[in-house]
Structure formats: structure tokens, C-alpha cells
Amino acid sequence: MSIETVRISKQGRDHLSRLKRRTGIGQWNILCRWALCASLAEPGGPRPVQGGERPIEMTWKTFGGDHADVYLALLKERCNQDGLDTDESNLSEQLHAHIHRGIGYLSGEKSIANIEGLIRQGIGQNPDEQSTCQ
């Protein structure tokens, strides 16, 4: 395992708090997983995360849960696609950059007003489309 700790900046924490209120998802790690996946789906690489206060900290095991290997494989594949090395330092930097970009993206989405909006965004469904779930 190459990533030990996942750290979220103060600004990221503020955005996650907004997402927690909107979606009702109370665990940071679950929202961070959504954020990672949202960022990995975007073209181009994320900006590096600037230093500073990091009030949220969780272990890689907490972040990834039962699917930690899948998240690591997705991150490595993205690094390969972007022409980046998959050494420990770079994986950690890219993980944090993707999580922070995804947090910003999700928190800024007006269509994510509840958990249904988060799911619709995650599957790429237009928020104006009728749900097939009753």
C-alpha cells in the first residue's frame, strides 16, 4: 500500500459540510469517494492541492473501505493515462488533488440538493429527467 493517510483542507471540509447537509450522507469518507470518482471522470488533470491546514484526516483503509484496491487501481490507471508516474509520492499527490477537485465540483452542482441529485449526477442523468424509481 502506498497511501497511508487522506487529508482534506479547510476549504474542502467546508464544501463537504455543505454536501453532508444536502445529501444526508454523514461520513466524510463516502463523500470523498464520490468526489474522487467525479474528478477521475473529468478530462485533464487537477491542480495540485496547496499546503495549509488539513482539519480532516482519515486512514486509507477508512477512505477506501472494502473497495480500497479498486480506488487505488482507478487512481493508478488515471495516472498512466495522464502520463504520470505511479510512485508513492505522486499517487498521494494525485489522490488529494482529485479528491479536492471532486469536492469542489460536487459542492458547486446546484442539481445536488439531496441524495437523489448526487446519484443522478453520478450516473450522468440530467437532473430534469424523470426518475424511473418510485
Q: Please tell me the predicted confidence (pLDDT) of residue 129.
A: 56
Sign of CA dihedral 23, 112, 122, 76: negative
Read off the pLDDT band of 128 (50, 70, 90). low
Are the C-beta atoms of residues 111 and 38 closer than 8 Å to each other?
no
CATH number for the region 5-123 comes to 1.10.1220.160
Cα end-to-end distance, the chain, whole Å: 42
For the chain, the average pLDDT equals 90
12-51 confidence digits (pLDDT tens): 999 999 999 999 999 999 999 999 999 999 999 999 888 7
Q: Please tell me the predicted confidence (pLDDT) of residue 40.
A: 97
56-115 confidence digits (pLDDT tens): 999 999 999 999 999 999 999 999 999 999 999 999 999 999 999 999 999 999 889 999
CA gap 106, 35 in Å, rounded:
7
Q: Please tell me the predicted confidence (pLDDT) of residue 133.
A: 44
CA gap 45, 31 in Å, rounded:
20
Residue spans of the domains in the chain: they are 5-123
Read off the pLDDT band of 134 (50, 70, 90). very low
Q: Please tell me the predicted confidence (pLDDT) of residue 124.
A: 81
